[in-house]
Amino acid sequence: MTTLLDLKQTIQTYYIKYEFYISLGWKFLLALVSLMTINSKLGYQGVLMSPLIVLMCSLLCAILPATFLVVMDALFVLAHLWALSREAAIVGFLIFILMFLLYYRFAPADAPAVIVTPLCFAMGFPYVMPLGLGLLGTPASVVTVVFGTVIHYYLKFISDNVATFREAAADEAAADTIARLQSVIDGAFGNNTMIAIAAVFAVTLVIVYVIRRLPVDHCHDIAIGVGSITLMIGMLIASASYNADVSAPGVIIGTILAALLLKGLEFFTFNLDYSRVENVQFEDDDYYYYVKAVPKVSVPTPERRVKQINRANLTSSEDSSSPVDGNTRRVVYERRVRPSSDNFAAGKKRRRTDLEKSLGSDGTSREADKSVAAPQRRRQAPTGRARNPYAAPSKARNAATRPGTQRTPQGRTTARASSGVRTAEAPRRAQTANRPGTNLGTGSTDEKI
């Protein structure tokens, strides 16, 4: 059971993911099969027998809404009937017009069922349609299954009387045309077997729908069982009453196969867990509500856990050598592509600390305090040795390292006499020559104390 539930979950997942392409596929296949079946059963219009035309029409039906499938099949049928007999085409046109009026009014969503019902009759397996439409559709689906049955028996009547229609086509008298039209109507709608089978299908569909709507446990299974029994009994009565060419073993075997097929469809569509039924009662200002909640059987989706090993400057790659358990995958980083959550948190904390350091106690930036207090600090006297206002400039201090210069004990830089280099203090002497208390005879600028 778990395997089937996993399969159901997988099918649903893929259908939701690729719903657009699946819809195109089933519409194309249904149109192709139906058009090929019409050509094989009728085949009176030679132009429509071309495989290229059938393929192009199928592609057109795939990209258009599902309702266009019915329109395309109706056009093919009318074209073949017109090539055979105008009277048959006129009667067929009236049938399709009536079907479209009732179909679009009551069951516009059952477009595929209108086509599938004659196809199931052609394959000898029509018993699945009333059971399936009763389980999945509404009471308005009776229109779909009845018209599908009528179309099948009308085309069967045309195929059985092809020779008569061909002989009557040579006579173009107006009286004969009216007589032929009346004979076609009598032959199409005077078939008691068609009426009996359509009635049995309609009753079966309504019974299945009513039972599956009952608030009882396992209502879908009960509906399938009761509907199958009703279908078998009704078909056997119709066969015995109107001498229909329906074999009793074929009815029984076909109904059982249809019930099994519907049971599988019920598993994938409903599949309720009646062991966890909940009855809820609540009220509002106007009504009391009694609700019965039945949960669907489902399998929890396994969660995949990824074990990551974070390393600096590493990229992730699969480590096939490391052992793994059921849903665990080991990932080794060879070069950092994205920082982990720990590194991100550490970096965020470090940036916050730097921001707090850069802010003062009042929330203002310390860099702004430093820029404001810098001129004040420059005006204050240094805490170390007093600055000599007559000290040599930076160029003179740097000149002490040049060749041909020497530094005196007083901290002044003078040039050697033999080198012929000008004294670095010459500009200073010129500036202090007029100051009182200076003595320039010795070549020095000592202050007088």
Query: Taking 50 as the threshold, does the pLDDT of residue 333 lie above it?
Result: no
**312 backbone dihedrals φ, ψ, rounded to 5°:** -70, 135
Looking at residue 76, what is its pLDDT? 93
How many contiguous H segments (helices) and E segments (strands) does the chain have?
Answer: 17, 7
Sign, Cα dihedral of 396, 398, 399, 400 = positive
Amino acid at 353: T
Query: Taking 80 as the threshold, does the pLDDT of residue 178 lie above it?
Result: no
Per residue in 63-94, pLDDT tens?
Answer: 998 888 889 999 999 999 998 888 888 889 99
* Over residues 270-298, mean pLDDT: 82
Sign, Cα dihedral of 134, 137, 138, 143 = negative
Lowest mean pLDDT among 29-33, 159-163, 191-195, 352-356: 352-356
Two tokens, residue 423: 């004294």
* Residue located via tokens 């202090």: 432
Q: CB under 8 Å to 39, separation ≥6 — which residues?
A: 48, 49, 54, 76, 80
Looking at residue 441, what is its pLDDT? 46
Looking at residue 421, what is its pLDDT? 43
> What is the C-alpha to C-alpha distance for residues 283 and 448, in angstroms, rounded to an integer?
113
Prediction pTM value:
0.63
* Over residues 440-446, mean pLDDT: 44
Predicted confidence band of residue 389 (pLDDT cuts 50, 70, 90): low
For the chain, the average pLDDT equals 74
**In contact, 332 and 319? CB cutoff 8 Å:** yes
Q: Which of 101, 70, 69, 96 is nearest to 82 (CA)?
A: 96
Predicted confidence band of residue 42 (pLDDT cuts 50, 70, 90): confident
Lowest mean pLDDT among 28-32, 43-47, 218-222, 398-402: 398-402
Share in percent of the chain as helix, strand, coil (round to 5): 60, 10, 30
Looking at residue 384, what is its pLDDT? 47
Looking at residue 326, what is its pLDDT? 44
**In contact, 147 and 106? CB cutoff 8 Å:** no
Predicted confidence band of residue 54 (pLDDT cuts 50, 70, 90): very high
Looking at residue 364, what is its pLDDT? 53
Looking at residue 209, what is its pLDDT? 93
Q: CB under 8 Å to 391, separation ≥6 — which residues?
A: 411
Query: Taking 60 as the threshold, does the pLDDT of residue 400 lie above it?
Result: no
> What is the C-alpha to C-alpha distance for residues 90 and 93, in angstroms, rounded to an integer?
5
Residue 54 vs residue 423, higher pLDDT: 54
